[in-house]
Amino acid sequence: MRRAVCAAALIFSACATAPDHPLPPAARASLAIASVDPTAESFDVPFKQGGRSSGMAHIQKLDAVSHSISLSAGNRPPCKLDKEFQGLLTRITAVGTVDVEGRGDEELLVLNEDGGTGSHDEILLLVDPRDCGAAGLDITVMHQATHPVAAQTPLGRFQDLDDLRRRPERRFLNVLKYRYGYLSQDDVERDRSNPRYAYYFWARANGSVTDGPMKIRRCKGPPPSIDSVVQKLADGAVVYTADFKAGVVAYDEAKKEHYVLYHPQDLYHAPSVLKRAGPYLLIGTRGEGVAAVDLRTLSLRRLRFSGSDDDVKSLDIDGGKVYVNGTRELRLPGL
């Protein structure tokens, strides 16, 4: 079924604004984006050339993992997007138009999002109606809290970094990408106090610690709320929270501060169970055994096991002894 995306429906609908990365004036004045149904068989997008509504872009689903794009304007014969880009456009989620130079000539903007639970890719693609030349960015956003920095790959004409003709398009997409999950290393470093990056800085300081003291960064206030909480454990004024596909955060209600105590090497090995035993906070994981945090010294000891016991389903205390998955005894100094 063909869907027509009329000019009136093209509204700016990208996610949260990025005040530190403002759009160029011409692009901001002309940018229009509309969400589309990724399952639609086809849809049409009108665009302007020479300041007049004289063109139409037709996007057609070829199969489950590719699309074709053709554009026609005025008396020029239609042009088609190169086949190399058809396979990149697997799940188109939004389309739009933008006049990046403010000269009355709009380009087609195509947004494609695809991925899984570990990461997803945002493809931002500009298509020039005059020759169907494409230029864009492929942004890879990791879902692991210890990897907030996104990777980017130039596409099409952006691969030639010396092509001065693409500077306006490059400036535009290098700002727009921040509306779709992009973060650079410099962005994170400038915002070190942001609790959003607490796991990242914990992993950078303590990711290689297997048996020794940790460097702990404390943040003011409670930790950001997470929908997928595995378990909470209250211990006096401190509440420990294990997050699915993340780690363990402590919140000291008396001091009104929180701090990260643990994150697995792999997000799929997230915490599965919390238990307090003597001076230790024991953190069972879904694939990395038990992490034992000595709360007196804030030292971390990673305990790995053979067989299936690295996937910790239970931690039981019986007569001063701790058992992993009901049978394997856990031995630690002070227990």
Domains of the chain, CATH where assigned: 2-188 (no CATH), 199-330 (2.130.10.10)
Residue 13: pLDDT above 50? no
Residue 47: pLDDT above 70? yes
Categorize the per-residue pLDDT at 14 as very low, low, confident or very high, splitting at 50, 70 and 90: very low
Residue 190: pLDDT above 70? yes
Please list the residues that pair with 7 across neighbouring strands. none
Residue 17: pLDDT above 60? no
Which 3 state secondary structure label does DSSP give 46?
Answer: strand
Please state, in angstroms and rounded to a whole number, the distance separating the CA atoms of residues 105 and 51: 6
Q: Looking at residues 243-250, what average pLDDT do you find?
A: 91
What's the mean per-residue pLDDT of the chain? 88
Q: Which of 159, 33, 163 is nearest to 84 (CA)?
A: 159
Residue 322 CB contacts under 8 Å (≥ 6 apart), including other chains: 275, 277, 282, 315, 316, 329, 330, 332, 335
Residue 225: pLDDT above 80? no
Neighbours of 303 (CB within 10 A): 20
Residue 139: pLDDT above 70? yes
Please state, in angstroms and rounded to a whole number, the distance separating the CA atoms of residues 194 and 186: 13
Q: Looking at residues 67-84, what average pLDDT do you find?
A: 84
Categorize the per-residue pLDDT at 137 as very low, low, confident or very high, splitting at 50, 70 and 90: very high
pLDDT value at position 18?
52
pLDDT value at position 19?
53
Q: Which of 217, 212, 198, 211 is nearest to 146 (CA)?
A: 198
Cβ contact 53:7 at 8 Å? yes
Q: Looking at residues 233-259, what average pLDDT do you find?
A: 95
Please state, in angstroms and rounded to a whole number, the distance separating the CA atoms of residues 174 and 158: 11
Please list the residues that pair with 271 across neighbouring strands. 285
Residue 49 CB contacts under 8 Å (≥ 6 apart), including other chains: 55, 73, 74, 104, 105, 106, 129
pLDDT in tens, 80-112: 887 878 788 999 999 999 999 999 999 999 999
The tokens for 301 are 């000891």
Please state, in angstroms and rounded to a whole number, the distance separating the CA atoms of residues 28 and 7: 16
What is the arrangement of strands in the sheet containing 315-318, beginning at the earlier edge strand? 315-318, 321-324, 328-330
pLDDT value at position 227?
65
Residue 48: pLDDT above 50? yes
Cβ contact 48:68 at 8 Å? no
Instruction: Tell me the whole-structure pTM to 2 decimals.
Output: 0.77
Q: Looking at residues 138-165, what average pLDDT do you find?
A: 86
DSSP 244: T
C-alpha pair distances (Å), 149 with each of 22, 23, 186, 206: 20, 21, 9, 18
pLDDT in tens, 278-325: 999 999 999 999 999 999 999 999 999 988 889 999 999 887 789 999
Name residue 270's amino acid.
A
